Structure 1
């Protein structure tokens, strides 16, 4: 009986050798049983829990037929996918361990795309089919090889929109580009991580095509200049183009001027720098400081953004802007941003916005130069509201605004973004009454009856003199008085805009796009849209038309009236690259 129990027990142990959680040592229990009863109880338990062996899994079976009683969590599915990808790249494709591991773990978008090809609903995998998932992915990759450059570039930290143009058309496997992998390992062994390599590849792609030994010699040449490994690796990441061509003499000159410690401390690995521009900016600042090295170093130490923000380009633009407004070279040093936290680019933007505002209210050039020479230190810090806001809220015309600013330029501090603008003090009740009388008279000339006057006064915002001035401008475009009246009655918002704004919009639609004036009469509401919106929409429309994705003749209303979301659905999505081009148009228009 003991023999039969042993045979029976051995058989059970063989069948259950893959079950998790079996910790009973069968042979030990049989040879040294505590008691016959304990052995029999153990055998009874094993027999009662014995499961029939499952038939072998058919690898050709569709993944969708897998049982879904206990679903795998998403993170577990991703781990299994990474294991399958690593197994394929390392064991089947023969890639080096470092490359295979990086591509499997750091390309989540590629892995998710692959998983979706196998099954539409990744959450439907049951907890018992993890091994099947791995085998299915491996089998799929064996019969459907993927372009290995895509997960490789994604593992370097590049987005699909960034690496799509970089994927070679004539290669599919990484082993076909031996220099790429060799230079990858040169950077890795030098201490430059994979995500930093993605930035290098994006800015200096040629580096990864160097033949054997070339990249290493380039790096060694930088070290021979007297720089340490930490400094060289950071310079390579921040300015990858130092590895292209001859030794960058401008970089050496800049470092000799301000010291490698300062460069190492202030360079940002997330930024990109041009040593030629930095050198030019430093030379300019040295002239401003009168060749006083200590003063120059103190200036750079307190405000590193002067030379590092856009490689000093914004500083040069600011200096040129101030020079055109009448500042002398000796005054320019005082016009530079005084705080290290103040961005030079934002300072230029604020000054430009203020300049356009002063030009918009017809201030004389010499008066604008006077304002900037004396007050640019705070005008560069604050951003003024838009011109239309001033004219509508301050309740003053352009001449009145010019007079207020000339008398006290610091009054503009009250007109910056974030502050509530209060109307300018009136010149008397007589003016208010007179303005309303002029507005009423103007509306009567448009054809409004007395019973319609109250509603019309609310629709036509602005002073009576301003409304008449803009109405006369419409007539000066070539419209008859009847056509002009028809336009403003159909869309009163037309007259709420300044004449120069209307002129710019009409010039764009009529002279640049070629629409007749009759189009504006039929659809005057088109003039209420911003010029930026017009340019973006029509540029997108003509781009689609050139590619045969839009009709040759569309009305202005068809292009302008839709919201951005509807415009994308109806037009932009007609072309695969439409969304990318549309975003570029909006970005360039905002700049």
Structure 2
């Protein structure tokens, strides 16, 4: 088809083609004058441009994307015959399918300018090395973003240096595909460099990223850089900054801060006084400088316990300032450090961290007992009754009952099993959860000596 382009207007060979030709190429009529060098141009009159236009069309590039490619990489429309086709084939030779090449060059037209982009090739090889298919990359590319392949490569290499190798890097990228983008990749690289400058060791950075992979997302990176800038401007010592990053990364990632000048002007104090306040009570940084003024969750200096609890809940996966978070703050009893200690009891007993996270979100009351009591109940379950720790997954309410009730009923159940008077492996809900009347009826009275034994068990514990 012959397309006629006039300044301010695009025409087709017949009137019914006039309205949509510019739009079909992804260009607005107002953009056309910038790309024209004379008053009237038939696209077919420029043989080289017309040929390259056809190469893209025949290859499968959507017409609506060609205008953007023309704006961002005009050089490709000036290639001699065969050059553009050979470049497209060269990218296919990297074991990329045609649909992937189409997605790549429409999102990143500059890949077709000059020789094959060596940084891009390195990124592809890196992805292949961690068993991520190139179709994954194409799936997350967007023509609304720009991509700096060198920065992406540097970010991936830095992640490799801090311990994200092979499967770990693969899992990280699959969980957070936004890392493959100039904005997030570039800022994440800058952030990690700043970590080195303040004194974080490689193993500390590794642990930080492992425990808080969401810190690599663009929104989190921005907030971390804000925090580092804030602490630098109030002249906070590097040793404090390192300790602060290691202890409060979850809260840092979820808090957007005002600038320090706005804070000390509002409080009518000086820079050194603000620095001293935060040094003495680190969590006051979030109450004094937070941009969020949400009355539902306030991290003020009079309620540091609530702030610590919020940090713990963020680790469990609760969303900042959500209604679910508000309800959880009421259900979980104790300071954040106490809740963490209780949580760790189950991990040390053998449950997977993620399993415990889901379990306590489903049954918050599990953590509303002192650490010592939780440990004793776990020991009664595993050492005395001989049940696996996984038993609490189906019966988390077991942990809510008194030690006396648990010990009495376990003792009776064990005595009955030894005499083949009770079924093996009954659930904890059946053994401990039923009423006293039902327990006597279903357990104690099933054996002639059951009632006497039951009374002896109760007397022995008094």
State how far apart, in whole Å, the 1-side matches of 2:117 and 2:259 are: 45
Q: Which residue of 2 aligns with 1:274?
A: 148
State how far apart, in whole Å, the 1-side matches of 2:300 and 2:153 are: 49
Alignment of 1:346-357 (within 5 A): 346-357=219-230
Return the TM-score normalized by structure 1.
0.43
Is 2:234–2:274's contact at 8 Å kept on the other side of the alignment?
yes
Distance 1:311 1:223, change over 3 A: farther
State how far apart, in whole Å, the 1-side matches of 2:299 and 2:207 are: 32
- By relative contact order (CA 8 Å, sep 6+), the higher-ranking structure is 2
User: Secondary structure of 1:409's match?
Assistant: coil
Tell me, yes or no, if structure 1 residue 391 matches structure 2 residue 314: no
State how far apart, in whole Å, the 1-side matches of 2:192 and 2:113 are: 31
Is 1:350–1:384's contact at 8 Å kept on the other side of the alignment?
yes
Of the structure 1 ranges 355-364 and 399-408, higher mean CA displacement relative to structure 2 is found in: 355-364
Return the offset for 1:232: 1.2
1:409 pairs, out of 263, 277, 282, with: 282
2:13 pairs, out of 67, 90, 107, with: 90
Residue deviations 1:218-248 (CA, integer Å, cap 9, x gap): 2222223322221111111122222223333
Tell me, yes or no, if structure 1 residue 283 matches structure 2 residue 157: yes
Q: Which residue of 2 aligns with 1:298?
A: 171
State how far apart, in whole Å, the 1-side matches of 2:173 and 2:247 are: 24
Tell me, yes or no, if structure 1 residue 105 matches structure 2 residue 20: yes
Bigger Rg over Cα: 1
Q: Which residue of 2 aligns with 1:260?
A: 134
Tell me, yes or no, if structure 1 residue 228 matches structure 2 residue 134: no
Return the TM-score normalized by structure 2.
0.53
Number of matched residues? Answer: 285
Residue deviations 1:166-186 (CA, integer Å, cap 9, x gap): 333587443332222222222
Instruction: For structure 2, list consecutive stretches of 5 or more residues without a partner in the other structure.
Output: 1-8, 303-462
Is 2:151–2:189's contact at 8 Å kept on the other side of the alignment?
no
User: Secondary structure of 1:310's match?
Assistant: helix
Residue deviations 1:60-117 (CA, integer Å, cap 9, x gap): xxxxxxxxxxxxxxxxxxxxxxxxx88x63059xxxxxxx93x53154xxxxxxxxxx
Residue deviations 1:130-172 (CA, integer Å, cap 9, x gap): xxxxxxxxxxxxxxxxxxxxxxxx6532457865543335874
Residue deviations 1:504-561 (CA, integer Å, cap 9, x gap): xxxxxxxxxxxxxxxxxxxxxxxxxxxxxxxxxxxxxxxxxxxxxxxxxxxxxxxxxx
User: Secondary structure of 2:52's match?
Assistant: helix
User: Secondary structure of 1:296's match?
Assistant: helix
User: Secondary structure of 2:254's match?
Assistant: coil
Return the offset for 1:305: 2.3
Q: Which residue of 2 aligns with 1:463?
A: none
Q: Which residue of 2 aligns with 1:548?
A: none
Is 2:48–2:77's contact at 8 Å kept on the other side of the alignment?
yes
Return the offset for 1:261: 2.7
Of the structure 1 ranges 189-198 and 160-169, higher mean CA displacement relative to structure 2 is found in: 160-169
User: Secondary structure of 2:116's match?
Assistant: coil
Is 1:188–1:194's contact at 8 Å kept on the other side of the alignment?
yes
Tell me, yes or no, if structure 1 residue 378 matches structure 2 residue 247: no
Return the offset for 1:216: 1.8
Of the structure 1 ranges 223-232 and 271-280, higher mean CA displacement relative to structure 2 is found in: 271-280
Is 2:215–2:253's contact at 8 Å kept on the other side of the alignment?
no
State how far apart, in whole Å, the 2-side matches of 1:383 and 1:211 are: 52
User: Secondary structure of 2:293's match?
Assistant: coil
Distance 1:236 1:308, change over 3 A: same
State how far apart, in whole Å, the 2-side matches of 1:341 and 1:289 are: 16
Tell me, yes or no, if structure 1 residue 331 matches structure 2 residue 331: no
2:50 pairs, out of 156, 161, 181, with: 181
Q: Which residue of 2 aligns with 1:524?
A: none
Return the offset for 1:206: 0.8
Distance 1:412 1:311, change over 3 A: closer
Q: Which residue of 2 aligns with 1:219?
A: 88
Return the offset for 1:265: 2.3
Distance 1:175 1:312, change over 3 A: same
User: Secondary structure of 1:195's match?
Assistant: helix
2:194 pairs, out of 307, 312, 321, with: 321
User: Secondary structure of 1:246's match?
Assistant: coil
Return the offset for 1:404: 2.5
Residue deviations 1:399-451 (CA, integer Å, cap 9, x gap): 443232112212223231122689978xxxxxxxxxxxxxxxxxxxxxxxxxx
State how far apart, in whole Å, the 2-side matches of 1:305 and 1:174 are: 38
Distance 1:269 1:360, change over 3 A: closer
Distance 1:340 1:230, change over 3 A: farther
Q: Which residue of 2 aligns with 1:207?
A: 76
Distance 1:347 1:164, change over 3 A: farther
State how far apart, in whole Å, the 1-side matches of 2:80 and 2:204 are: 52
Q: Which residue of 1 aligns with 2:26?
A: 157
Moved segments of 4+, more than 6 Å: 337-343, 420-425
State how far apart, in whole Å, the 2-side matches of 1:166 and 1:301 are: 40
Distance 1:166 1:340, change over 3 A: farther
Q: CA RMSD in A?
A: 3.4
Of the structure 1 ranges 352-361 and 314-323, higher mean CA displacement relative to structure 2 is found in: 352-361
2:217 pairs, out of 344, 369, 378, with: 344
Return the offset for 1:362: 4.2
State how far apart, in whole Å, the 2-side matches of 1:392 and 1:423 are: 18
